[in-house]
A and B are shown apart, each in its own frame.
Chain A
Amino acid sequence: MSDTSSTSPASVRLIVSWALVTVLLGYGVIETGITAAKLF
Chain B
Amino acid sequence: MLTALDRSRSVAPPGFSRWLIPPAALSVHLCIGQVYATSVYKNSFVAHFDSSATAVGVIFSIAIVMLGLSAAVGGTWVERNGPRKAMFVSACFWAAGFLIGALGISTKQLWLVYLGYGVVGGIGLGIGYISPVSTLIKWFPDRPGLATGLAIMGFGGGALIASPLSRQLLSAYDSGYDPDVATSTASGGALVALFLTLGIGYFVIMMFGVANMRVPADDWRPAGFDPASIKSKPLVTTASVSAANAIKTRTFWLLWIVLFCNVTAGIGILEQASPMIQDFFRGGDGKSEVAVATAAGFVGVLSLFNMAGRFAWSTASDAIGRKRIYMVYLGVGMILYALLASIGDSVVALFVLLAGIILSFYGGGFATAPAYLRDMFGTFQVGAIHGRLLTAWSAAGVAGPLIVNGFLDAQGKPGTLTASAYQPALFTMVGVLAVGFIANLLVQPVPERYHEKTTGKPKEAVA
Nearest CB of A to B294, in Å = 5
A39 touches B161 (CB 8 A): no
Contact indicator B27/A36 (Cβ below 8 Å): no
Q: Which residue of B lies closest to A1 (CB)?
A: B211
* Residue B57 lies at the interface, judged by CB distance under 8 Å to chain A: no
* Bound Cα distance A28, B300 (Å): 10
Q: Residue-by-residue, is B1-17 near A (CB-CB < 8 Å gives 1, otherwise 0)?
A: 00010000000111111
The residue that A31 contacts in the complex, of B12, B20, B160, B293, with Cβ under 8 A, is B160
- Quote the shortest CB–CB distance from A24 to chain B (angstroms): 5
The answer, among B4, B214, B296, for a CB contact under 8 Å with A35, is: B296
Give the residue name and chain of the A residue nearest to B4 (CB): A1
Chain B minimum-CB-distance residue to A22: B23
Contact with A along B137-167 (1 / 0, CB 8 A): 0000000000000000010010111111100
Is chain B's interface secondary structure helix, strand, loop, or mixed overall? helix
B161 and A27 form a contact (CB under 8 A): yes
**CB-CB < 8 A to B296: which residues of A?**
35, 39
Contact bitstring B48-73, A, C-beta under 8 A = 1, else 0? 00000000000000000000000000
Take A17-B23, A17-B24, A32-B164 as given contacts and tell me if A39 and B294 are in contact as well, using a CB distance cutoff of 8 Å.
yes
User: Quick one: CB contact mask for A1-40 with B, threshold 8 Å, 1 for yes?
Assistant: 1010100001001100110110011011101110110111
Tell me whether A32 and B23 are in contact (CB under 8 A): no
Query: Which of the residues B19, B293, B294, B304 comes within 8 Å of A29, measured between beta carbons?
Result: B304
In the bound complex, how far is the Cα of B20 from the Cα of A39, in angstroms? 37
Q: Which residues of chain A have C-beta atoms less than 8 A from B208's C-beta?
A: 17, 20
Candidates B14, B27, B163, B294; contact of A32 at CB < 8 Å: B163
Please judge, given known A-B contacts A32-B304, A35-B297, A36-B301, whether A21 and B20 are in contact too, CB under 8 Å: no
* Interface contact A39-B297, CB-CB below 8 Å: yes
Complex contacts, B161 vs chain A, CB 8 Å = 24-25, 27-28
User: Does A24 contact B15, Cβ atoms closer than 8 Å?
Assistant: no
The answer on a CB contact under 8 Å between A25 and B160 is yes
B30 at the interface (CB under 8 A from A): yes
Tell me whether A35 and B23 are in contact in the complex, defined as CB-CB below 8 angstroms, given that A17-B212, A24-B30 are known contacts.
no
CB-CB under 8 A from B211, the residues of chain A are 1
CA–CA, A37 and B458, complex, Å: 51
Instruction: Give every chain B residue within 8 A of A25 (Cβ-Cβ).
Output: 26, 30, 154, 157, 160-161
Most buried by B among A13, A21, A25, A29: A21
When the two chains form their complex, are residues B300 and A36 in contact, meaning their CB atoms are under 8 A apart? yes
Interface status of B303 (Cβ within 8 A of chain A): yes
**Alpha-carbon separation in the docked complex, A3 to B164 (Å):** 35
- Name the residue of chain A whose CB is nearest to the CB of B19: A14
Residues on A with C-beta less than 8 A from B27 are 17, 20-21
Chain A residues, CB < 8 A from B154: 21, 25
Which of B13, B205, B294 is the one whose CB lies under 8 Å from A5? Answer: B13
B157: contacting residue among A28, A35, A36, A38, CB under 8 A: A28
A1, B20: Cα distance in complex, Å: 13
B288-317 Cβ-contact flags toward A at 8 Å (1 or 0): 000001101110110110000000000000
Chain B residues near A28: list those with CB within 8 A.
157, 159-164
Q: In the complex where A20-B23, A20-B27 touch, is A32 in contact with B303 (Cβ < 8 A)?
A: yes
Q: Which residues of A contact B157 (CB under 8 A)?
A: 24-25, 28-29
Q: Which of chain A's residues has its CB closest to B308's CB?
A: A29
Closest 10 CB pairs of A and B: A28-B160, A39-B297, A28-B161, A31-B164, A17-B23, A32-B300, A21-B26, A36-B297, A39-B294, A21-B23
**CB<8 Å pairs between A and B, sample of 28:** A1-B4, A1-B210, A1-B211, A3-B214, A10-B17, A13-B212, A14-B20, A17-B23, A17-B212, A20-B27, A20-B208, A21-B27, A25-B154, A25-B161, A27-B165, A28-B163, A29-B157, A31-B160, A32-B160, A32-B163, A32-B164, A35-B297, A36-B300, A36-B301, A36-B304, A39-B294, A39-B296, A40-B294
Given pairs A3-B16, A10-B15, A39-B294, 19 additional interface contacts (CB within 8 A) = A3-B12, A5-B15, A13-B212, A17-B20, A17-B208, A25-B157, A25-B160, A28-B160, A28-B162, A28-B163, A29-B157, A29-B160, A31-B160, A32-B164, A32-B301, A35-B297, A35-B300, A38-B297, A39-B296
